[in-house]
Structure 1
Amino acid sequence: MSQQRIWISAWVYLVIAGLALIDAFIHLPQLVPVTAGLIVFFILLQFREVPLPQKIASIVLTGIGLIGAAASEHWAGVVIDGIARSRVFLLLFFAVSWLQYPVNQSPSLQAARRTIISQPPGRRFLYMSFGVHILGSILNLAGLGLLTTMVEKQKNTHLRRRMAMALINGYGSASCWSPFFIGMIVILVALPSLSWRDIGPWGILLALAIMTMSWLYDRLVLRTAMPSEAASSPVPISKQHFWRTAGLLGSLVGLAIVIVEFTGASIPVTLGLMGPPFAICWYMSLGAKGTRFPHRAKSLAVDVMKGLPSLRNEVLVFVAANILGVGISSAIPTQDVAAVVNAVLPWTDAKIFALILFFLFTSAIGLHPIIVVIALSAVLPPESLDMRDWVMGLTFVGVWGLSTMVSPFSGTTLFMSRVTGVPAHIIGWSWMLPTSLLNGTVIAVMIIAIRHLV
C-alpha cells in the first residue's frame, strides 16, 4: 500500500459526511452553520485545483445567488441554508467513492464486461446500452467505467463514436428511474412532496424509450453510413458469474430498500450508512485468503480518503447551484413569474414541452441541470404552474439524463471525452444533440399521455 499523504481537505470532507448523517437522525440547528462553514473551508482548500471554466461558472452563479439573497432581511441565514443544503449531495458522493474500488476488481463484473463488449455488430449497441444502464443504475460512474475499454481500443473513429453514444445513452437514461443516481436525488430533494414511488416506475418506461429510440437512430442513421464489420464471436458469461453479479447488485439494492423502509431515511443518507461497510466487506472478499482483513480494509479506507479531495468540482458546482436557488427564490416573487408563464403557456401539455426544451438549451450552453432544477423548483413550484408535482418530477427525471448528454461540462461528457480523445463540446453538440432532441420529443409525448391516463 502506498504511503501517500492524506490531505486535511479529506478529513474535512469526512467530518462533513459524518455531520450530514448525524443531522439526518438527530436534527440539531446548531450543526447547520458548522456544516456550512466546513463546506466553505473544503472549497477554499481545493479552489486553486478547480479548472478555470468551473471556477468562473461557480463564481458567477454564487454572485447571482448572493445578490438575490441580499434582498432578504435574513440574507446571512439564507446563504448559510443554501450552502448547508449541499451536504446531502456530498454524502452521496462520499458513499459512491467507496464502491468504485471493489467494482474494478470484481471477477464477476469483469466477466459481465467481457460478455457485453464481445457482442458482434447488430446487437452490440443494445448490449452496451442496456448493460451500462443496468450496471450504471446501481454502481453509478463505476459501472460506466467498466465498459469503456472497447471504446478506448477502437481505432475506427466512426465506430468509436457509435460505441460511445451507446454508452452515453444507456448510462444517462438511468437517471430516469434509478434512486442511486444524483439526478433522482436532486429532484426528490427539490420537490420534497414526492417519493421515489411517485415517479420511479414511470421513469423506467421513459428509460426504455430513450434506449430504444437511440438504438433505432444508430441503426437507421449511423450504421448505414459505414460498411458492415466482420462478425466476432461473443464471450458467454458463466452461470456462476451471472448469479454472482445478480446477487451482488441485488444485495446492494435490497439492503438499501430495507434501510429506507425501517429507518425512513432518504436515499443519500441510506447510501452514506451502507456504502462504506458494504464496500469494505465486498473488497475484503476479493483478496487472497489470509490478506483480507485488516490489510484490505485499511487499504480501501486510505484509497477512499486520498480520493475525497478530487470531488472538488462536484462540491463547488452543487454549492453554487444551491446558493443560486435560494438567492433567486428570495429575490423573485413566485406569483409574478408564474403569472407570466401561465399567461404565455396556459396549457399544461405545452409547459411540459417548454420545460424539456429549456433544460436542453440551458444545458447545451453550459448550465448543469442541477442548477436548472434547483432554480426552477424554487421560483416555479408545481402548484404555481397548475401542474401536479409528480408530472413536474417525471419531466425533470426524464430530461435530466438528456441534458447531461448535450452539456459540454457534465460529468458524463467530460468522462467520455477523456475516453475517446474527442472534445466534450463535440460530443455534446454534435454527437448527442440530435438523439437528445429526438428523445426529448418522445418523452414529452409519453409524459403527456401518462398525465391524461392517470
Structure 2
Amino acid sequence: MTAMPPADAATAPRPVSMGLYAIAAALATCADLFGLAAALPVAGAALVAFVLLEFARIRRPQQIAALVLFVVSIGLGLRFGALWSILSEGVLKTLPFMLIFASVGWLRAAAGESPSLMALRQGLSRMPPGRRFIAISSAAHGLGAGFNLAGMGLLTPILDDVKDDPEAGQRLRCAILWGFSTAASWSPFLVGTAVVLSALPGVAWFQMAPYGVFIAVGFLIWAAVYNRLVHRGAKPEGPAPPRAPMPNLWPAALRMLVAILLLFALTLSLIEIGGLRLTTAIAIAAPCFGLSWLALVHARRDPQRIAQVVRGVIQSYPGMRTESTLFVAANIFGVAISASLPHDHGTNGAVPWAGLGTGVDFVDTLLAIWAYLAVCAAGLHPVILLVVFTTLADPAALGLPLPLLGAVFMALWGMGTAVSPLSGTTLFMSQFSPVSSFTIAWRWNSVFFSLGAVWLAVAIALLR
C-alpha cells in the first residue's frame, strides 16, 4: 500500500495548533448557528494565531506566495487608510472555508475505514488494462464529489500496481486528478462551491448543480478520449493478472453511492430545512456522518478503533496549514483589491473590458478561459481571480443565467486548481508522485484542460 509521507517536524502532532484550529472552527460554527456575532472576532484571532504558528512549516513556494499577497494588501491598506478593516474582513471571510477544510478529515477517516471502499479499490486494481482509466477517473470523480481531497487519497494505493512503470503511473495519476478536478463543477463539498456561492449570494447550490453535472460529464468523456489519443499504442496503464475475470464492482460501488447520497441528503436537509449556510451545514454533517459511519463499521467488533480514528482526525488539523494560510492571504488580498477598485461595474453595469474582445461570443469565451488558466498556472489562486472579477464586473451583465454562471465558475475553479502548481490538488498528488507539483500542473494537466476549455465554451453556448 502506498504510504503517506513520513512524519517529520511539519506533520508531528502539535497540541497548540490543534487547539487553535478547533477553537476557530467551533466558534465559527456556533456564530452562524446561534447568531453569536461576538464569537467571530475570537474565531478570527484563533485563525490568525494558527497561521502565524504554522507559517514556518509550509512549503517555501506557498510562503512566498502568501507573503507577496500580504505585503501588497498591507500596502493598499496603508494607501487607502483602511488597513485594519481590510485585514479583519479578510480573516473573517476565511472562517467559513475553514469549516470545509476541517470537515475533510472526518470524511476521509470514515471512508478510509469502510470495507466497501476497500473492496471497490481492490476491484479497480483488478480491472483489465484499457478499461482501468475510465473506471478510476469515474471513481475519483464520485469519491471526490463526496469526500473532497480525501477522494483522491483513498485511491492512491492503486498506484502501487504501477510503481515500476512511470508512463502507466502518470496515466493513473491523471485519471485520479482529472476525475477529482471535474467534480468541482457541481459538488457542494469542494471549497470552490462555497466561494462561488459567496460571490453570487442570490443563487443556491441546487440551482447550479444541473448545469455543473452536464459540464462534468463532458469533461469525463473528454478525459477518456484524450487518454486514448495521447497514449495510443502505449502500454496499458498497469498490469493485470493473466486471464483475470472482470471484477464485479457494482456491489461496492452501489454501497459507496448510497453513502454519498446519504451525506448529500443530510447536508441539503440542514440547508433547506434548517436554513443553514452550506459551510455550516457541512461542518455539522461531516462529523455526524463520519462518526455514524465509524460506528457502523467498528461499534460491535472494535469500539476502541473509533476513539483512535477520532484522535487522528483532530491531530490532522495542523495539516491544514497550507490551505488556511493561502486562503487567509487570498481573502485579505481580495478585500484589498475590492477596496481599491471602483464598484460601479463600468457604465450602466457593462463589463469594463467588453470592448477588448473579438465580437464573437464563442471565441471571446474561449480566450477568457485560456487567460484565466494562464494566470492560475502562474500561481495566482482562483479565489483572488473570482473576487477581482466580481468586483470589476456585474455578473448579470455577462448575459448568462446566474445558475449557469455559478456552475461555470465552479468548473473554472477545478480547472484552475489543477493547472496551478501551488494548489492543494497538485501538492497533494505530488506527495504520491515521483515528480513535483510543477510537472503535474504544467505538463500533465495544462494541455488537457487547455483543450478541455473548448468543451466548457461549447457548454456555455449550448446552455445560455
- TM-score w.r.t. the length of structure 1 is 0.91
User: In 2 relative to 1, CA 227–47 (structure 1 residues): closer, same or farther, beyond 3 Å?
Assistant: closer
Task: Judge conservation of contact 2:178–2:223 (CA < 8 Å) in 1.
Answer: yes
Whichever residue aligns with residue 100 of structure 1, its letter is R
Instruction: Specify the SS of the correspondent of 2:390.
Output: helix
User: Among residues 335, 341, 349, which one is paired with 2:353 in the alignment?
Assistant: 341
Give deviations 1:307-358, integer Å, cap 9, x for gaps: 1111110000111110011100100114476664122236665553343122
1:401-452 Cα deviation digits (max 9, x unpaired): 222221111222222222121121112111221111111111111112211x
Q: Which of 326, 345, 358 is matched with 2:335 structurally?
A: 326
* 1:419 corresponding residue in structure 2: 432
Aligned amino acid, residue 32 of structure 2: A
- Show the counterpart of 2:38: 30
Counterpart for residue 15 of structure 1: 23
> Residue 316 of structure 1 aligns to which amino acid in structure 2?
T
Structure 1 counterpart of 2:123, one-letter code: T
Give the match for residue 179 of structure 2: 170
Give distance in 1, aligned partners of 2:70 and 2:402: 28
CA shift, 1:92, in A, is 0.9
Q: After superposing the two structures, state which structure 1 stretch, 106-115 or 413-422, moved more.
A: 413-422
Write the letter of the residue equivalent to 1:21: T
User: Residue 302 of structure 1 aligns with which residue?
Assistant: 311
Indicate which of 407, 424, 435 corresponds to 2:448.
435
Query: Gaps (5+ residues) in structure 1?
Result: none
Amino acid at match of 2:406: G
Shift of 1:72: 4.3
**Quick one: distance in 2 between partners of 1:387 and 1:439?**
20
- Which letter does structure 2 place at the counterpart of 1:378? T
The answer to whether residue 150 in structure 2 is matched with residue 142 in structure 1 is yes
* Counterpart selection for 2:200 from 191, 216, 236: 191
Query: What pairs up with 1:103-118 in 2 under 5 angstroms?
Result: 103-118=111-126
Q: Any gaps of 5 or more consecutive residues in structure 2?
A: 1-11
CA distance in 2, matches of 1:323, 1:145: 30
Match of 1:390? 403
Instruction: Tell me which of 288, 293, 313 is aligned to 1:277.
Output: 288
Secondary structure of 2:231's counterpart equals: helix
Partner Cα distance (1:228, 1:94) in 2: 34
Cα distance in 1, alignment partners of residues 439 and 329 from structure 2 = 26
Partner of 1:262: 273
Q: How does 1:12-411 map to 2 (within 5 A)?
A: 12-72=20-80, 74-154=82-162, 155-226=164-235, 232=241, 233-234=244-245, 236-237=247-248, 241-287=252-298, 289=300, 291-292=302-303, 295-335=304-344, 340-345=352-357, 349=362, 351-383=364-396, 385=398, 388-411=401-424
Q: Is the 1:58–1:317 contact (alpha carbons within 8 Å) kept by the matching residues of 2?
A: yes
Query: SS state of the match for residue 298, structure 2?
Result: coil
| Range with greater deviation from structure 2 (420-429 or 246-255) | 246-255
Counterpart amino acid of residue 15 in structure 1: I
Identity of aligned residues (%): 31
Query: Cα offset for 1:243?
Result: 4.4
Structure 1 CA distance for aligned equivalents of residues 37 and 452 of structure 2: 44
Decide which moves more: 390-399 or 50-59. Answer: 390-399
Quote the Cα distance in structure 2 between the aligned partners of 1:310 and 1:242.
30
Residues 334 and 384 of structure 1 are in contact (CA less than 8 Å); yes or no, is this contact kept in structure 2?
no
User: Relative to structure 1, is the Cα distance of residues 242 and 333 closer, same or farther in structure 2, using a 3 angstrom cutoff?
Assistant: closer
* CA gap 1:381/1:79 in 2 versus in 1, 3 angstroms: farther
After superposition, the Cα gap between the structure-2 partners of 1:417 and 1:335, relative to the gap in structure 1 and judged at 3 Å, is same
Question: What root-mean-square deviation, in Å, do the aligned CA atoms of Structure 1 and Structure 2 show?
Answer: 2.4
Q: Distance in 1 between matches of 2:237 and 2:49?
A: 55
Equivalent-residue separation in structure 2 for 1:136 and 1:45 (angstroms):
30
Q: Report the residue type matching 2:448 in the other structure.
A: T
> How far is 1:152 from its partner?
3.4
AA in 1 matched with 2:228: R
Cα distance in 2 between the residues matched to 1:383 and 1:273: 33
What is the CA–CA distance in structure 2 between the aligned matches of 1:280 and 1:260, rounded to whole Å? 20
CA distance 1:290–1:171, shift in 2 (3 Å)? closer
- Residues 266-321 of structure 1: per-residue CA shift (max 9 Å, x gap): 221111112112212222332263641xx344323321221111111000011111
SS across alignment from 2:62: helix
Q: CA deviation at 1:176?
A: 0.4
State the alpha-carbon separation in 1 of the partners of residues 351 and 251 from structure 2.
60
Deviations 1:175-195 (A, max 9, x none): 001111112222112221221
The amino acid that maps onto 2:196 is: I
Deviates more, 1:315-324 or 1:155-164: 155-164
* TM-score between the two structures when normalised by the length of structure 2: 0.89
